[in-house]
Structure 1
Amino acid sequence: MRSHLLNDTTAEQYRRSVTEGVERVAAKLATTGRPFTGVTVDALSPRIDGIDLDEPLHDTTAALDELEDVYLRDAVYFHHPRYLAHLNCPVVIPAVLGEAVLSAVNSSLDTWDQSAGGTLIERKLIDWTCARIGLGPAADGVFTSGGTQSNLQALLLAREEAKTEDFGSLRIFASEVSHFSVKKSAKLLGLGPDAVVSVPVDRDKRMQTVALARELERCTKDGLVPMAVVATGGTTDFGSIDPLPEIAGLCEQYGVWLHVDAAYGCGLLASLKYRDRITGIERADSVTVDYHKSFFQPVSSSAVLVRDAATLRHATYHAEYLNPRRMVQERIPNQVDKSLQTTRRFDALKLWMTLRVMGADGIGELFDEVCDLAAEGWRLLAADPRFDVVVQPSLSTLVFRYIPADVTDPAEIDRANLYARKALFASGDAVVAGTKVAGRHYLKFTLLNPETTTADIAAVLDLIAGHAEQYLGDSLDRAS
C-alpha cells in the first residue's frame, strides 16, 4: 500500500487524484441549483450504514462515485445565494488553494522543527491582525480551531491574571445574548455554576453598560472577584455590537480583564466603510477573531489575540521531547508555547494566500457588501406587514418572524414559523436558521454571501409566508 503514500515517487498519482476530485467538486458547484436537496436522515443513513469500511474499493474513481452518493449530492452548499442560515461563509479561491497546499505538505505548527516558515507566516499574520485591531507593540496571539477555543484560552488567561486561588469567588460578566462558549469555558476552567453573570441588553441587543456597572459594583461589595468582562463584537443571533468604549472604561475603572469576542464582527477590521462600528476593540486585553466567518476562509481559521504577550505564559508548558526550555534561550520560535493545542494545522496559510492575492481591501469589500445587503433586507422586512423584524442590523444578520393577519395566539404563530423553517429546509429551496426571542420562535437570515441579492431575500420571504400559511390553513381544517 506504499503506492498511496504522498512522496517523490507518487507525485504524479497525487496530481491525477486531486485533479479528479477538484473536477468533481467544480462540476457540482457549477450545477447546484439549490442549497440543499432536502434529503432526510432516514433516507441518507442506510446508504452510509450499508458501506463496509473493511472492504476498500481500491480505486479513486470508484471512491469518488461513492462519495457523490453519500455526501456531495446531498451536502449543504454554503456558496448558494439562498443559503441564509448560520455563520457559514462561501470561501475565496486563494484560501482553498492554501488549504490544498497545507494539507499536502502537512506541516504541524507546534514547533519550529515541524514547520519552519509556517511558524513565521503564522506569527506575521498574528502581528498583522493585532495591528488591525490596534492592540499595541506588545501584542501577540496564536491561531486556534475556532471561536470557542479562542474564548476558552482568553478566559484561562483572565483567570490566571486574577491572581486568586479561590475560583469560587471569580465572576465573568457577559451579555444575556453572548455566545454559549462563555458558560462552557467557565465550567471547563473549574469555576462555580454562578460564575457567569448575565448582563441585560437594550432593545438593540447590546449590553447595557448601566447594568454592567451595577453588577461590577455589587460583585465588589459582596467580596467577589470580577475576573473578566466579555463584550461581543457581533452576537451570533443578532450581529449586535456591545458599546465597547464604555465597557472598556468600566473595565479600566474596576481593573477587570476585557475580552472582546469578535468572532463574527472581525470582518470590520478589513472594512472600507464600517470599521468605526467596532471602535473600542483596541482597548481589549484579548480578542477572538474567526477568519472562517467574515474573512471568507474555509473552516477552521481563528485566532486569539492579547494586548500583552507575557500573559500567554499561562498556556506554556515545556516537554523535553518537544519544546525544552533551552529553546527559549536559543531564540527558537515555538508556537506550542502559546497554544492550548499541540499538533496544529497550518491554517494560517489560507489567510496568507488570501491577503497575498486579494489584499485586505478585497476581503473588506466583500464583507461591506453583505452588511449593505442586510440593511436592504431590513428595509424589506420593516415594510412588509407579514413580518416582524427584531433589530436593525449592525452586521449581516436579520431576525424576524411571520405574523399572520388573522391569528393572535402566540403559540400558534410559533408553530407556523417552526413549520415554515422545516418545510423550507425539506424542500431544499433555501436554508434559514431559527432562534428564540423573549421565549418566542423567530427565524434568522445570516447573510454572508455577496452573491445573495435582495431578490433572493424577497423570494425566500415569500416561500416562508407560503409555508406558514399552508400550515395555518391545514390547522384550521384539522380544527373543523
Structure 2
Amino acid sequence: MSTLLRKAYSAASFEQQGYQLISLLAQHLKKSTDHSAMNWIAPEKQMEFWKNDFSSGLLSDPVTLFKEIADRSINVRNPKYMGHQVACPLPLTILSSAFISCLNQSLPIYEMGMVGTALEKIVTDHIKTKFGFGNQSSGIITSGGSLGNLTAILAAKAQFKEKDHPDLVILVSREAHYSIERAAKIAGLPASGLIQLPVNEKFQLQTELLTEVYRDLTLKGKKVLCIVGCACSTSLGVYDDLEAIGSWAREHNIWFHVDGAHGGAAIFSPDYKDLLKGAEQADSIILDFHKLLMAPSLSTALIYRDGKNAKKTFAQEADYLFDNHDKNDWCESGKSTFECTKPMHILNTYMILRTYGDEIYRENIDTLYNLARKFYFMIENDDKFEAALEPMSNIVCFRYKNGNNLNVINHTISKEILLDGSYYIVNTTINGEFWLRVSIQNPFTNESHFKGLLGKIKEIGGKLQEII
C-alpha cells in the first residue's frame, strides 16, 4: 500500500483532527448568536475565492478549510435566521451525522444496513401511530420531501391500468409545493394533468368546488389519480381542510395524499395537532424530519395507510439484490424506494427520540408556532406594517405598507436586508403582490429579534419612501 493511502486512512490523524474539529464546531455553536445571520458574498466573488483555493496546493490542516467554509456560509443556527424552512439541527445530530459517515451503511439491501433498516421500521411505525393509522399501515424513509411526494404519487398511479394513464389528473391547491407539479411530470402526466384548484380567503383549497370539478372531469373522460392536501403550504404556511378533503376522497374512492413535509410535525403538539385533523384518512402522507423536527437534511417519512401499496410502485426483478420479489419484507426497503443506495440518516431522528423523546418535538413545535403568532401581533400593532393573514404555522407573511409603490419598496427592502446580512428573511408573491416572509426555525429567536428586524425594515422603508 502506498504511503499516501496509509496517511489518508490514519486513525491517529483522524483522532487529532477530530478533536480540533469538535472544538471548532463547539465554538461555532457558542458564537451563533453573536454575529449576523449571514455574510453576503456575491456569486462571482464566492466562485473566485474557491477557484483560487482549489488551485492553491494541498492542505496541511483540513480544519482551517472547515473554518473558512463556516465563515463563508449562512448560519442557520443564528436566531436572526428566519428564512427558508431548514432546521436548526440539535447538536446531538452533529455527532450522529459523523457516525453515519463512518459506518457508511446502505439501507435498501438488508445486510448492508441491518441496524438502519430496523431503525427505519421502528421510527415509521411510531409516526404511523401518531397519525392514527392501523397495523396494516407501513412506511419508508426517503431522501427528502420531493422524493417522498413523487413516490406516493407513483404508488397512487399504480392503482390504475396502463390504458387509463393518458386520462389521469391530479387535484391540488394552487398553493401546493412545486414538487407536486414535478412529480406529475415525472409520472408521465401532461401539463393539463395537474388541476390547480382555487383557494378561499384563508388560502385553503376550496373543498366546496370538488364535486363540481370531479363531475366535469368525469364527463371529459378523465380519472382522478389522487387529490393532494397541503399541511402546510410552503409560501404561506396554511393547512388545507384535510377532514373535508379526506371525506370527499373516501366518498369518491380517490387516493388522498397529504403533503405534510413541513407542517406534519404538528402531530406531536397537543395544542396544534388539530390542524392535521383528517390526515388519518389519507392513503399516504409525508413528514420531513429536517424541517421542524431538528434533524439535518435530508430525511422524510412516507407513510401508507395500506402497506401493500408501497411495493406496487417498484415491482421489478432484481435477483442480485432480493431473494424473493413477492415477499412483503419490511427488511428489504429497496422494494419500496427509488434509492438503491441510501445513507442511514434515520439514525439522527432515532437518536433524538431515544435521548429526548416526543417531548422535545412538542416543545419545539409549540415554541415556533407561538413565536409566529407573537410576531404576527407585533405586526398588527405597528402602523407601518400589515400581515397577509394570521399564521397557522411558523410562517408569517407581511410587508411594509407606507409608500406609493409597495411592490417596489418591499422588493428593495428584501434586497437590502439580504446585503446587510444581520437578518435573513425571504419573500413570496401573493395574488401578484410582493410580500416579505419569515419562517421561524430557531427556538431561541425571541421578541428582541423581531423588534430588531422590524426596526431595520422601518429604517430602510423610510429612506425608500423619499425616493420611490
- Bigger drift between 458-467 and 291-300 goes to 458-467
* CA–CA separation in structure 2 for the residues paired with 1:250 and 1:351: 34
Following the alignment from structure 1 to structure 2, what is the Cα–Cα distance between the partners of residues 162 and 332?
24
How far apart are the structure 1 equivalents of 2:239 and 2:409? 30
The 10-residue stretch of structure 1 (464-473 or 79-88) with the greater mean CA deviation from structure 2: 464-473
Q: Does 1:464 align with 2:457?
A: yes
So what's the TM-score if we normalise by structure 2? 0.95
- Report the equivalent of 1:14: 14
5 Å matches for 1:19-58? 19-32=19-32, 33-52=35-54, 55-57=57-59
When normalised by structure 1's length, the TM-score is: 0.92
Q: CA deviation at 1:5?
A: 5.4
Q: How does 1:134-213 map to 2 (within 5 A)?
A: 134-213=132-211
The verdict on how the C-alpha distance between 1:55 and 1:325 changes in structure 2, with shifts beyond 3 A counting, is farther
Give 1:332 shift: 8.1
1:341-367 alpha-carbon deviations (Å, 9 max, x no partner): 110010110000000001011111111
Counterpart secondary structure, 1:400: strand
Aligned AA for 1:114? M
Alpha-carbon distance in structure 1 between the residues aligned to 2:27 and 2:447: 27
Compute the displacement of 1:419 (Å): 1.1
Q: Which amino acid letter does the alignment assign opposite residue 92 of structure 1?
A: L
1:318 aligns to what?
A: 317
Amino acid in the other structure paired with 1:31: K
One-letter amino acid matched to 1:322: L
Instruction: Report the number of matched residues.
Output: 462
C-alpha distance in 2, partners of 1:50/1:173?
A: 50
1:3 aligns with 2:3: no
CA contact (8 A) 2:121 2:330 kept: no
Counterpart Cα distance in 2 of 1:345 and 1:77: 25
Contact 1:272–1:361 (8 Å) recurs in 2: no
**2:412 aligned counterpart, secondary structure:** helix
Which residue identity lines up with residue 65 of structure 2 in the other structure?
E
Q: Relative to structure 1, is the Cα distance of residues 327 and 251 closer, same or farther in structure 2, using a 3 angstrom cutoff?
A: closer
Residue 83, structure 1, aligned to residue 85, structure 2? no
Give CA-to-partner distance per residue, 1:146-165, whole Å, 9 cap, x none: 11100000000111113342
Q: For 2:396, what is the secondary structure of its paired residue?
A: strand
Q: Alpha-carbon deviations, 1:281-330, whole Å to 9, x = none?
A: 1110000110101101100111211111111122243322222327949x
Residue 478 of structure 1 corresponds to none
How far is 1:129 from its partner?
Answer: 0.8
What does residue 67 of structure 2 align with?
Answer: 68
Q: Does 1:421 align with 2:424?
A: no
Relative to structure 1, the CA distance from residue 332 to residue 302 in structure 2 (aligned partners, 3 Å threshold; closer, same or farther) is closer
Deviation for aligned residue 1:261: 0.2
Deviations 1:351-391 (A, max 9, x none): 00000001011111111101011111111111211112111
Percent identity over paired residues: 23
The alpha carbon displacement at 1:74 in A equals 1.9
Please say which of residues 171-180 and 48-57 is displaced more in the overlay: 48-57
In the TM superposition, 1:145-294 aligns within 5 A as 145-294=143-292
Contact 2:17 / 2:63 at 8 angstroms: preserved in 1? no
Letter in 2 for 1:93: P
Q: For 1:96 and 1:138, how far apart are their aligned partners in 2?
A: 35
The residue aligned with 2:439 is: 446
Give the stretch that moved more between structures: 320-329 or 157-166. Answer: 320-329
User: Over residues 406-452 of structure 1, what are the superposed CA-to-partner deviations in whole Å (9 max), with x where a residue is unaligned?
Assistant: x33xxx21111111111111111100010001111100010121100
Give the Cα separation in 2 of the matches to 1:216 and 1:322: 42
Q: RMSD of the TM alignment (CA)? A: 1.8
In 1: Cα distance, 2:267 partner to 2:98 partner = 26
Output the CA distance in 2 between the equivalents of 1:309 and 1:148: 20
Alignment partners' CA distance in 2, 1:281 and 1:298: 25
Question: In 2, Cα distance between the equivalents of 1:382 and 1:269?
Answer: 28
Structure 1 residue runs of 5 or longer lacking an equivalent are 476-480
